[in-house]
Amino acid sequence: VLPDHPRLYRLLQVRPSGSDALTAADLRSPEAYRSALQRALIARRPGRYSRRWLAARLGISVWTCRRYDRRSRLVVQPMYTERQVFWMNLDHLPLADVRPVSDGSFLETADGRRYPPVRGLAAHLLARQQPVIWKRQGWNYYGIDTYYYEGTFSAACESQRSEQSISDRIHKRDEACAQGPSAPSAWIGQKASIDPPAPHAVFWLCPECRSFHIQPERPGTCKTCQHEDWQAIPESTWRDPERCKMWWKSIQPQRTRLPRKQDAPAAWLNVNQRALAERLCQRIHQLTPTRALTHGVAYQLVRDYGAEAVKRVLRLLDERDSIANAAGFVIAVLRGTPSGSAARREARPPAEDHADWLTRLRQSPYAGFYANADQILAGE
């Protein structure tokens, strides 16, 4: 004969306490059993609990406890302690070089942006006249989803109701509410009234210009490209932030890289001159790798100063033992050569003749505005 509960209490030397009712489905596996215990505790006493305490109560890890919460469909709401940050209590925040404490603390501004709890960053936000809130996460709140009844009661309850006008039912409902919970028969059989559900939102994408609308009904003509064929995106794609980001990048047009243009100075040189310019670049790179010369500049030097001048510079490079800046040395030597001076003189625009300038000034309609206009027009 199995002993009764009082005898078991005496044999095991334990005190009588409450218990949670379990079903046969909750005993089919250890995971189902622990998940049922977790849900029964929250259903009996919803409130704030430590995640580590809940996990230690069932003999599982913290991550397994989170999985049980999702399986039991528990409501887990993060709770924070808030504190307004001012210039007077700015010293309570840690410095940037201090290792942050893993308490889920962060700074939040009025626009909803979150920042690390660093003193310098908070001072920067306060200097910009932004209200700063210092939030620290505590124990989460655990509860059970509440499902509201939609529809009518059984026909037996409906048959007990006498037909009456709408106004009588309204007054009867008010009287029942005034009586309180002692008279439940006043509202039994009444139809539960809740707000109609909001229409389901759909992500509509224009395949031509990538414009989109999030609304229940299909949009009309696109205002950007006058396109009417909208594409409905699955909710599983645009509801998930990471998946939506990857999908949005995939539909963007591929950027084509423009082909590299050929250096303009290279087109003006023959094969020997190009080889000489390449040799100059390689030699400078061997001497001073950090201060090398580009191919475009080498082609320009060969074209402006000639092949003979560049060969003389290469011989000077071979004779020198140590050069700090080979590229600067080459350019300085080439500019000091006679061919370099002539090239600079040829590149300089010729000076305008004074007689020609004076002739054009007399022909100008503004010559009479000068103070010595009589002398200019007279040709003196």
* pLDDT for the residue numbered 238: 80
Check pLDDT > 80 for residue 31.
Answer: yes
User: Which of 21-35, 141-155, 238-252 has the highest mean predicted lDDT (pLDDT)?
Assistant: 21-35
Residue 64's pLDDT band (cuts 50, 70, 90): very high
Cα separation of 320 and 314, whole Å? 10
Check pLDDT > 60 for residue 154.
Answer: no
Per residue in 175-216, pLDDT (tens digit) is 444 444 444 444 444 444 445 555 678 888 888 887 888 888
Is 147 strand, coil or helix? coil
Count of alpha carbons within 13 angstroms of residue 56, beta-carbon side: 5
Residue 324's pLDDT band (cuts 50, 70, 90): confident
* pLDDT for the residue numbered 63: 93
Residue 156's pLDDT band (cuts 50, 70, 90): very low
Please say whether the beta carbons of 265 and 303 come within 8 A.
yes
Check pLDDT > 90 for residue 361.
Answer: no
Cα separation of 173 and 164, whole Å? 12
Lookup: tokens for 296: 């475009």
| 49-58, 149-158, 259-268, 371-380: segment of lowest average pLDDT | 149-158
* pLDDT for the residue numbered 190: 45
Check pLDDT > 70 for residue 256.
Answer: no
Please say whether the beta carbons of 214 and 204 come within 8 A.
yes
Helix, strand, coil percent content, the chain, rounded in steps of 5: 50, 10, 40
* pLDDT for the residue numbered 15: 86
Lookup: tokens for 65: 């406890």
Cα separation of 54 and 66, whole Å? 10
Q: Give the DSSP H or E segment for 106.
A: strand 105-109
- Looking at the chain, how many residues does it have? 380
* pLDDT for the residue numbered 179: 46
Check pLDDT > 70 for residue 14.
Answer: yes
Per residue in 122-152, pLDDT (tens digit) is 998 998 888 999 998 899 999 987 655 454 4
Q: What is the average per-residue pLDDT within 88-111?
A: 78
Percent of the chain residues past pLDDT 90, beyond the cut: 16
Per residue in 159-174, pLDDT (tens digit) is 444 444 444 444 444 4
| 53-67, 76-90, 198-212, 350-364: segment of lowest average pLDDT | 350-364
Q: How many helices (H) and strands (E) does the chain have?
A: 16, 10
Model pTM score = 0.37
Question: What is the residue extent of each domain of the chain?
Answer: 24-77, 82-144, 202-247, 265-347, 350-380
Round the average pLDDT of the chain to a whole number and report it. Answer: 77
| 180-189, 230-239, 282-291: segment of lowest average pLDDT | 180-189
Percent of the chain residues past pLDDT 70, beyond the cut: 75
